Chains A and B, each alone.
Chain A
Amino acid sequence: MATDAPQTDLTPEAITRFLEPLLVRTGRGQEATIPILQGIQHEYRHLPEEALRQASQRTGLRLADLIGVATFYHQFRLREVGRHSLRVCHGTACHVQGSENIHAAINRQLHIPENGDTTPDQTFTVEQVACLGCCTLAPAVQIDETTYGHLTADTIGAMVSDFLGNRQQALTDVDLIQHHQDHRRQGEIRVGLGSCCMAKGSDALFHSLRRTVKNFSLEVAVKRVGCVGMCHQTPIVEVRPAGGATAFYSKVGPAEAERIVRRHFPPPSLRRQLTGWFNRTLEGWVNPEAAARKNGHAALDFNGKPVTSFLGRQVRIATEGFGEMDPLDLDEYISQKGFVALGKALSSHPEANIAAITASGLRGRGGAGFPTGVKWARMRASVAVDGLKYVIVNGDEGDPGAFMNRMLMESFPFRVIEGMMIAAASVGAAEGFIYVRAEYPRAVSRLREAIQLLKARGFLGAKVMGSSFQFRVRVFEGAGAFVCGEETALIQSIEGHRGIPQLRPPYPVERGLWDRPTLINNVETLSLVPWIIRHGPEAFAQLGTEKSKGTKVFALAGKVDRTGLIEVPMGISLREIIEDIGGGVPGGKRFKAVQIGGPSGGCIPAALSEIPVDFEALAAAGAIMGSGGLIVLDEDDCMVDVARYFMSFLQKESCGECTFCRIGTMRMFEILDRLCSGKGVAADLDELRQLAGLTAQGSICGLGRTAANPVLSTLRHFLDEYEAHIAGRCPAGKCKGLIQYVVQDHCTGCTICAQRCPVGAIAATPYQRHEIDAALCTRCDVCRVECPENAVAIVSGGQPCTGHSRKEPRPQPLAHHE
């Protein structure tokens, strides 16, 4: 059982003993509000009243403010919870892969009471999380720090027992730091250790490889590298023997570590032991086709078509060095031209740097595409009363279906900080914050580690790189609020308030954090800056379209064969991304649409997939560039359901301040919910349009103003689906209120569906065609997935939903910390 049992001594004295050192660490000002609450919750797993009272007394912070903040952010809990928190991801990719059914199945299998969220034995508290940012693992679940992907109703039990049985201390970044240069005489083995890769077991594999290398006394460096981008192939191992050919292996399990090491680095004393039998086995295993047949793990041919298609069109600027660099190896970063750009920027006039950024045509990658150079110039011109200005990196990547910024912060923390420092030096700021959302613990720890390393080497602090520039940076952990991605709300959050967006003007560059001029740039924007400074603006501007320059990082997920993290030049068409890079829709399904831009974006139909990745072109089609989530939808996806999904998300994430957003999004959600449950009427569409218009024009911040986009874009491109719902039919067979499961004539009566049905809606009648009791059926989809004969069909409005042919069997899930 878990060793980190929650602190249960809630006596005032015990709480005092805990609080005092915490307050020394966090400070006692308003800006310490969120860190204090995080500290308390970390200790007690919730916020005990006594701790809040004492925190208020000891800091002078008003209890009212502490409660206001604690109830605003999702992370905080005011009541006790189970020992482990099981978070079911409801991100876009997970939603389209059936997260609602998974959530229901988890509740069922863990015996969560009807109106509760905690198992009767207090082991697990099941929560819904907006997006874990592991979209390529969809549907995903996180238990404490451990992520499980590709779940099915069938593998939930295995996941839980795995977690309870095998859980060991999670890897810390400190474990992974190795001066691998010292150990690589014979060669190097690289393992991607992004959060997604780790969720698929790359950390266990990493340790297994290290153990093997140590056991055999090999001088081989086992190197942790950042995100490899090819999420569909993880865990990926790259073996680089000194003087030998590089080999790649995909989907490798820890058990295979030894064989891989032996294959490429046979110790002399062992060579004789390699019997013919062993050789044959090994050869058989590394033969890709044979291996694929045998166990699904394949040696990956990087010259093969799928890989070249995936990598071929990509251009690495923000993700330069992907799959090669250790995220926290500062020497390696420096050897790869790290901090060359900062040095160049520090020796240039700040205005020249801004001019370069302006000339590059760089636009903000957070979504709206505001010209970065213009923002910097305004910031530079802005006068601070006391001379203090701030730079904030916006890493509050809250869009469900997006994980680009997480990957950049986890894999390239030095680059993010270098970009930030170039910005700071150019606009005259000496202090900065990196605001990272709560759901990205690994990004937080790697950034903090990177900052320590940079401080130790004189890249941070006074006289950076021998110049007069000084810079101090802190990581600020968000606490679970999508709206804090909005820059004024983000500032409120750092200041220790509820994340309520403020009316602009004044803009943050005029009056931001603590009323001082504040530059807020997105992670990806700043990650592009060092390359631009190093290569010059022209090189960047050569890429892309007339108004959208450079590259864009996308998280490619959903119904696409090769999911992953990609960086492509602007101007590439959506079709090229989905078909060429992503390999198209799997299982022979029809590509229907692509959701781009998250909750502020829209759905672009397949017919318009030649649209280039370009701010203006996407806007004209009713979507937005957004931060970079690309969710591919196929014929099984209902567009009304997608609109409902986003409205549900936005309604939950609205800060609740202004009327149109607070109530308008709820009323829109209710209408969409009505449509999806078969209770819609024709007048609903008019009311939906009216509310969409009102919310767009009358809301204070970007969240509200763009909240209707998913609705408007689906109304525009998929009106027929809305009309079908009003007529009582969900063409995609998705909306539970409008569909029925029926068993077709070719049923062999094998009773598997009857055995698996969680609600007993199917009678076990061997050798007879089964029947599903529609009144009992909860439309959980288990019978259809389980039926070996593919005899369960979905019917809506009296017609079969042909899209739902049998789904591809999913890869086994269970992969995580060893």
Chain B
Amino acid sequence: MSKLISLTIDGQPVEVPEGSTVLAAAQKLGIVIPTLCFLAGVKENHPSCMACVVRVNGEARLVPSCSTKVTAGMSVASETVEVKAARKAAMELLFSDHLGDCISVCQRVCPARMQIPAVIRLVAAGQMREAIALVKENVVFPGVLGRICRAPCQQGCRRSKYDGAVAIQLIEREVANQDSAAQEPYVPTCQPATGKRIAIIGAGATGLSAAFFLLKSGHACVVFDDHAEPGGQMRHGFSEAELPRAVLDAEIALIQRMGLEFRPGTRLGHDVRLAELREQFDAVVLAVGSMQKTDPAALGVETTTRTIRIEAANFQTSVRGVFAGGSAIRSNYDPARSVGDGRILAECVEAFFAGKPMQVVRQPFTSTIPKLTTEEYQQLAQGANATLSVRELITEAETAAGRCCHCDCRSANHCKLHHYGELYGADPKAFAGEHRRRFEFIRQPGGVIFEPGKCISCGICVELANQAQEPLGLTFVGRGFDVRIGVPLNQPLAEGLQRVGEQCVKHCPTSALTFAEDARNAVKG
């Protein structure tokens, strides 16, 4: 029975056995201290990441809590502004040398935030039903956008810097085509009715998209439009050649199958007034399209010269419970943006219902790969297919999908750097510098993928291999900024990790080590 040591952390007293670390004492109090390079029982006394720093007894220097032993009467500061700033900075420095995209560029620049790499992986695997379901988590009109979207994703595609972008729009269109050709096109299961009712003004991309997501959540939606048919700009702004009406009609019909009520020929300010709607419905969504065709006075909300004024954080107008999006809040028309706004509006309305309407619209947290060299783009392109099981790619869409390099992170959901970075509000670009790791994509037998560019040199894998007495093992190579983890004499990783490869993947705090299979499961919004 070892002696108990008393100390305080952020003023809270705690007793732990002699020899315990400050981290363990904090855990006992339920204080969450981020750790990246620490692994209990494996790597305990060799701190490196410094994400777990605390201040002891008010000293100027900070110490890593994972390796600092408690002493009697110790006074530890953990959740203070300065300590948290230092942890955040440690993570920002790590991000500055972490060559990885949590979210791929294509997905990041997609106004509708379609989960492009994940969709592509399903297509390449021939799982078209799963693919349409995943598409429709963000995009209600894949058939439409598959034809009229400006496809910024393809401009962002990293492969475009090497030998041409992946044909993402073609893939999206094919997914939609196959779905509409199916006997039972995909319709998501709606949540049980909530009893809430929402009035949506405008049956364009924004309004219908908002309706889709609200219906899916079990709310009732009534969509008003001054035209006889729903579709807005999608119906009236494109030729039949650009966008066949049948495609649009089919996709709208699917929303109507979810219970959408459409009131054609109804004009806000003339046939119906905002105040009435606000009384009759639990929330109102203004998706009235370009303000050039609308009389601002008729709306009943504050406007600027060309748009409806909204709170950027939650898309709420000057009237509580009334939200606006799409072309009504923007100076130009972009169908994908309108589709994306519909989903955001649905989220804002739901947050409003839940009583948490403050900060709804957020930029997703992501680390970013800077501009790569030609050789690196080549490496990246060679990594294409490597993440997927070998399968013959037959259709045009599958072939296109096979070209995707999967720049997105295969395990952003498990990445501790991502998790704590987001939690601490780190800015991954805060200390961006010129010197960085090289992009390398190393596929190992056994389905392990090693991306040294994402490694933060924590040494957990080195220690695991060492303790398992791997015959070859891993080692730190070099020193200083250029220190890397490698197998002796540049042998393949699989040679170095004959026993503990799986554990190394499991305990890697970033996605430097992943299983190729993780790719298929990687879905990140």
Q: In the complex the two chains form, what is the Cα distance from A664 to B486 in whole Å? A: 23
- Chain B residues contacting A700 (CB-CB under 8 Å) are 47, 64
Q: In the complex the two chains form, what is the Cα distance from A276 to B457 in whole Å? A: 78
- Chain B residues contacting A68 (CB-CB under 8 Å) are 475-477
The answer to the question of A389 belonging to the interface, with a C-beta cut-off of 8 Å to chain B, is no
How far in angstroms is the closest Cβ of chain B from A660? Answer: 6
Contact A666 B433 (CB under 8 A): yes
Contact A64 B466 (CB under 8 A): yes
Contact A655 B64 (CB under 8 A): no
The answer to the question of B434 belonging to the interface, with a C-beta cut-off of 8 Å to chain A, is yes
- Chain B residues contacting A658 (CB-CB under 8 Å) are 47-50
Q: In the complex the two chains form, what is the Cα distance from A657 to B43 in whole Å? A: 13
The answer to the question of B211 belonging to the interface, with a C-beta cut-off of 8 Å to chain A, is no
Contact A64 B50 (CB under 8 A): no
Contact B89 A503 (CB under 8 A): no
The answer to the question of B435 belonging to the interface, with a C-beta cut-off of 8 Å to chain A, is yes
CB interface residues, B 138-190, toward A, < 8 Å: none
Cβ-defined partner of B472 (8 Å) among A63, A659, A687: A63
Q: In the complex the two chains form, what is the Cα distance from A453 to B474 in whole Å? A: 44
Contact A654 B480 (CB under 8 A): yes
Contact B489 A67 (CB under 8 A): yes
The answer to the question of B353 belonging to the interface, with a C-beta cut-off of 8 Å to chain A, is no
Count, chain B residues at interface, CB 8 A: 50
Encode B473-491 as 1/0 by CB contact (under 8 A) with A: 1111111111100111100
Contact A663 B431 (CB under 8 A): yes
The answer to the question of B114 belonging to the interface, with a C-beta cut-off of 8 Å to chain A, is no
The answer to the question of A448 belonging to the interface, with a C-beta cut-off of 8 Å to chain B, is no
Cβ-defined partner of B435 (8 Å) among A52, A67, A670: A670
The answer to the question of B1 belonging to the interface, with a C-beta cut-off of 8 Å to chain A, is no
Encode B49-66 as 1/0 by CB contact (under 8 A) with A: 111010000001111100
Contact A62 B473 (CB under 8 A): yes
Encode B446-460 as 1/0 by CB contact (under 8 A) with A: 000000000011000
Count, chain A residues at interface, CB 8 A: 44
Chain A minimum-CB-distance residue to B478: A71
- With most chain B CB atoms within 10 A of its CB, the pick from A53, A64, A65 is A64
How far in angstroms is the closest Cβ of chain B from A695? Answer: 9
How far in angstroms is the closest Cβ of chain B from A510? Answer: 12
Contact B479 A663 (CB under 8 A): no
How far in angstroms is the closest Cβ of chain A from B43? Answer: 12
Q: In the complex the two chains form, what is the Cα distance from A694 to B466 in whole Å? A: 32
Contact A698 B97 (CB under 8 A): no
Contact A657 B48 (CB under 8 A): yes
Q: Given that A68-B476, A654-B479, A694-B86 are contacting pairs, would A660 and B50 also be in contact in the complex, using a CB cutoff of 8 Å?
A: yes
Encode A45-80 as 1/0 by CB contact (under 8 A) with B: 000010011000000001111111001100000000
Q: Given that A64-B473, A498-B479 are contacting pairs, would A659 and B94 also be in contact in the complex, using a CB cutoff of 8 Å?
A: yes
Q: In the complex the two chains form, what is the Cα distance from A216 to B402 in whole Å? A: 90
Chain A minimum-CB-distance residue to B481: A666
- Chain A residues contacting B496 (CB-CB under 8 Å) are 64
The answer to the question of A653 belonging to the interface, with a C-beta cut-off of 8 Å to chain B, is yes
How far in angstroms is the closest Cβ of chain A from B54? Answer: 11
Contact B93 A705 (CB under 8 A): no
Contact A503 B45 (CB under 8 A): yes
Q: In the complex the two chains form, what is the Cα distance from A657 to B456 in whole Å? A: 10
The answer to the question of A768 belonging to the interface, with a C-beta cut-off of 8 Å to chain B, is no
Contact B434 A697 (CB under 8 A): no
Chain A minimum-CB-distance residue to B456: A659
Contact B93 A64 (CB under 8 A): no
- Chain A residues contacting B474 (CB-CB under 8 Å) are 64
Top 7 A-B pairs ranked by shortest CB distance? A656-B483, A68-B475, A64-B475, A64-B473, A663-B93, A67-B488, A654-B480
Extra pairs beyond A71-B478, A655-B479, A659-B90 (20, CB < 8 Å): A49-B489, A63-B489, A64-B465, A64-B466, A64-B496, A67-B488, A68-B477, A652-B480, A654-B481, A655-B480, A658-B47, A658-B49, A659-B94, A663-B97, A663-B481, A694-B86, A697-B60, A697-B86, A698-B90, A700-B47
- Residues of A in contact with B (beta carbons under 8 Å apart): 49, 52-53, 62-68, 71-72, 481, 498, 500, 502-503, 505, 651-660, 662-667, 670, 687, 690-691, 694, 696-698, 700, 705
23 contacts between A and B (CB under 8 A): A49-B489, A64-B475, A67-B477, A71-B478, A654-B481, A656-B476, A657-B47, A657-B48, A659-B48, A659-B50, A659-B93, A659-B94, A662-B481, A663-B97, A663-B431, A666-B481, A667-B96, A667-B431, A667-B433, A670-B433, A691-B431, A697-B60, A698-B62
